[in-house]
Amino acid sequence: MTVTADMTIQAFSDALAAKTATPGGGGAAAIAGSQAAALVSMVINFTLGHKKYAEVELAMQAYLQQSETLRHELLALADRDVEAFSAVAACYSMPRATDDEKSARTAALQTALKGATQAPFVTAQKCLALLQLVEPVGRQGNANVVSDAAAALYLAEAGLHCALINVSINLKLIKDETFVTAWVAQRDQLLADAASASAAGKAACATTLEIAL
């Protein structure tokens, strides 16, 4: 499997546009999140070492460690999404001529669907973590580049919602009601947390930039 991090932007775009199942929306969500993290890191890097922002130097160093970790984790999640989808696709190719084969196929598919639910959910969690970083960075970071923190917020928000589409579609196919109930609750809580983080981040960036977002 081609590692997404090793692909050029053109190659990834071509692969995304091609008539192939992967990469797809889950991978695009992870890439959007990774780009958001990169923008947050950029804002922080323009803040570090600047005399005007000396009071927030230590805080920014901590934020940078978080944003850089998220950037690399989200990039890796693009490949995890491919692996999870491929596991589901493989189940549809399993034999089903006998009752035993049908049962084995169904069991394997249900297991794979659970894995395919968890992978994009992790992407959404990482995007939420980024949304939560935008508020302090947008409020305390170098005002000359806080517009990039605002751009990061919208990218992270898009990545989160894109990832959760895949969570929801997989939950629709899972027969384990206990699993579905638990994951629906987690998804809804994540959405609520994201709405709060997004509002706080927008307010911080808008105040610093003195524009409406």
User: What tens digit of pLDDT does each residue of 187-205 get?
Assistant: 999 999 999 999 999 999 9
Q: Is residue 17 one of the residues assigned to a domain? A: no
> Exposed/middle/buried for 10, CB within 10 Å: 0-12, 13-18, 19+?
exposed
Mean local confidence (pLDDT), 176-191: 98
Residues 6+ apart with CB under 8 A from 85: 21, 22, 24, 26, 116
* Residue 12 domain flag: no
* Domain-located, residue 177: yes
Q: How many Å from the N-terminal Cα to the C-terminal Cα in the chain?
A: 40
State how many domains the chain has.
Answer: 1
Would you say residue 113 lies in a domain?
yes
Judge whether 10 lies within some domain.
Answer: no
**2 found inside a domain:** no
The three-state (H, E, C) secondary structure of 137-194, written as one string? HHHHCCHHHHHHHHHHHHHHHHHHHHHHHHHHHHHCCCCCHHHHHHHHHHHHHHHHHH
Residue 21: pLDDT band (50, 70, 90) is confident
| CATH code of the domain covering residue 193 | 1.20.120.680
DSSP string, 100-133: HHHHHHHHHHHHHHHHHHHHHHHHHHHHHHHHHH
Interval 42-91: pLDDT, tens:
999 999 999 999 999 999 999 999 999 999 999 999 999 889 989 999 99
Q: Does any domain span residue 6? A: no
99 lies in which domain range? Answer: 22-209
Specify if 67 maps to a domain: yes
